[in-house]
């Protein structure tokens, strides 16, 4: 009964899934597949590498026009550490939750032929959404370091990824919400575990 209320939302979870997954079109499908690629945890390596390169540039050429606009080296170094720690925490939490809850993907939970699956999944577990976890993790980790105009992009990116996971048939909306909570929790915990940069 409790799981029904928390996960199925009295039937609203499946109704929202059907509404979002039922919207189809070439342009929309392309956008949703792009959102799914954006939220892949495999992007963590590229993000970490990018931060490491920015840090190296800031340390080696601190006075150039380009690097002067970057955060200070100590801020970039802490940002990199927080991101890596948060990513490791998220990997552990999502893997444990998926196996622990053992909730099926929409295509397995709903009648055959009722789900449009654009992005086939390898594992059968649905709760929480790993892509949504990673998207929210990125948004929360980088939020303090971003100028205000970029924060909207972080928020929209996380929303885009979450909607895309429902649209491509990989997750129910409840999985996405759970993923957002996991991502925010891992980012917040990592920020507490990694000591502040000296001078902050």
Top-confidence residue, 178 or 146: 178
In whole angstroms, give the CA distance from residue 117 to residue 24: 11
In whole angstroms, give the CA distance from residue 71 to residue 78: 11
How many Cβ atoms from other residues are within 10 Å of residue 156's Cβ? 11
Locate the domains of the chain by residue range: 25-193
Could you give the angle at the alpha carbon of 191 between the alpha carbons of 189 and 195, nearest 5°? 120
CB-count burial class (<10 Å; 0-12, 13-18, 19+) for 111: exposed
Mean pLDDT, the chain, whole residue set? 88
Sequence-distant (6+) residues with CB within 8 A of 145 are 71, 75, 79
17-76, pLDDT tens digit by residue?
999 999 999 999 999 999 999 999 999 999 999 889 888 877 776 565 555 566 677 888
Q: Name the 3-class secondary structure at 156.
A: helix
In this prediction, residue 2 carries a pLDDT of: 47
In this prediction, residue 64 carries a pLDDT of: 58
In this structure, the dihedral spanned by the alpha carbons of residues 172, 173, 176 and 182, taken in order and rounded to 10 degrees, is -100
Position 200 confidence tier, pLDDT thresholds 50, 70, 90: very low
* Continuous H helices in 102-172: 106-109, 130-142, 148-167
183 DSSP 8-state letter: H
In whole angstroms, give the CA distance from residue 191 to residue 130: 20
């Amino acid at each position: 009964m409790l799981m029904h209320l928390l996960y199925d939302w009295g039937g609203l979870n499946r109704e929202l899934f059907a509404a979002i997954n039922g919207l189809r079109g070439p342009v929309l499908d392309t956008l949703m597949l792009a959102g799914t690629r954006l939220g892949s945890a495999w992007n963590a390596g590229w993000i970490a590498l990018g931060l490491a390169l920015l840090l190296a540039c800031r340390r080696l050429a601190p006075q150039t026009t380009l690097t002067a606009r970057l955060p200070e080296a100590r801020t970039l170094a802490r940002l990199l550490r927080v991101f890596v720690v948060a990513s490791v925490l998220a990997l552990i939490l999502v893997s444990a939750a998926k196996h622990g809850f053992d909730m099926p993907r929409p295509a397995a939970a709903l009648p055959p032929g009722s789900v449009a699956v654009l992005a086939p999944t390898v594992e059968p577990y649905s709760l929480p959404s790993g892509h949504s976890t990673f998207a929210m993790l990125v948004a929360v980790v980088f939020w303090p370091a971003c100028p205000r105009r970029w924060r909207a992009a972080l928020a929209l990116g996380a929303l885009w990824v979450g909607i895309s996971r429902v649209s491509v048939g990989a997750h129910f909306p409840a999985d996405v919400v759970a993923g957002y909570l996991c991502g925010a929790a891992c980012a917040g915990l990592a920020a507490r575990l990694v000591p502040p940069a000296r001078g902050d």
